[in-house]
Structure 1
């Protein structure tokens, strides 16, 4: 686990095959199950993530902002290896604002996977957004991995 100037990286070993984790991560309908920040409420009828360039919409809630939507642009996808996306606000759905979520899956054996979650806001340049980062703490990211482990165990 490490916090850098513009990103936070956390890692956890989860007792699940990479394919099971990848299936949960690529289904936006399940994202609220592993959101340690508590901001993700539900997906907006999104399909399974299938390729870089896909966009999925999430219904969100934050104390300071109330209810809102994020349009997430898939930036990384390798089957059973990684999935990542950059959010864009509803007012500018085609223009990601510069932060990225990246889940990397490293198979240790057939039933165990090391999962690394990176929250990177190094490309955020908008002066009104910069003071908001990091919007999610290292502890919340660790909780996301704990919840991901529970979500994959439940199915």
Structure 2
């Protein structure tokens, strides 16, 4: 990994409230996951708030595992972000624009734990592709 902050945006043809409802419900993350790693919600169903925790069953490189994340940024219908024990942060910002809502997704690895290990495991192009696919999935979901 050479970069530490990845970000991309798309205009989604829906109101911020509709998009935020999907993003704030971890059970629905599988609907839009662009990484292909999310398998199912294990714990934490319902609308998240600041401080909420949820556990997702994941699978990468053929290995199943669980990740518990905590909501660390929250502004209803505008911003939601969560991180897990490594402290990389996944963030979605929503801004009303003509034709819908500009959704900006970012993966922030600037303050991670174990940077040397994580930097070897995570590839820039995989994160960029994952974000692009997630945003494209959001557009399709609301089109």
**Given the two structures, how large is their TM-score scaled by the length of structure 1?**
0.82
The superposition leaves residues 54-94 of structure 1 with CA deviations (integer Å, 9 ceiling, x where unpaired) of: 10010100015x0000001101111110111002xxxxxxx
The runs of 5 or more residues in structure 2 that have no matched partner are: none
The runs of 5 or more residues in structure 1 that have no matched partner are: 88-95
Which residue of structure 2 aligns with residue 112 of structure 1?
A: 100
Q: Decide which structure has greater helix share.
A: 2
Query: In structure 2, how many angstroms separate the alpha carbons of the residues matched to 1:18 and 1:30?
Result: 16
Query: In structure 2, how many angstroms separate the alpha carbons of the residues matched to 1:6 and 1:73?
Result: 20
The reply to whether residue 146 of structure 1 matches residue 118 of structure 2 is no
- Does the 8 Å contact 1:121/1:134 carry over to 2? no
Query: In structure 2, how many angstroms separate the alpha carbons of the residues matched to 1:132 and 1:49?
Result: 31
**Given the two structures, how large is their TM-score scaled by the length of structure 2?**
0.89
Which residue of structure 1 aligns with residue 68 of structure 2?
A: 71
* Alpha-carbon shift at residue 47 of structure 1 (Å): 2.2
Q: How many residues align?
A: 140
Query: In structure 1, how many angstroms separate the alpha carbons of the residues matched to 2:112 and 2:74?
Result: 22
Match of 1:124, SS?
coil
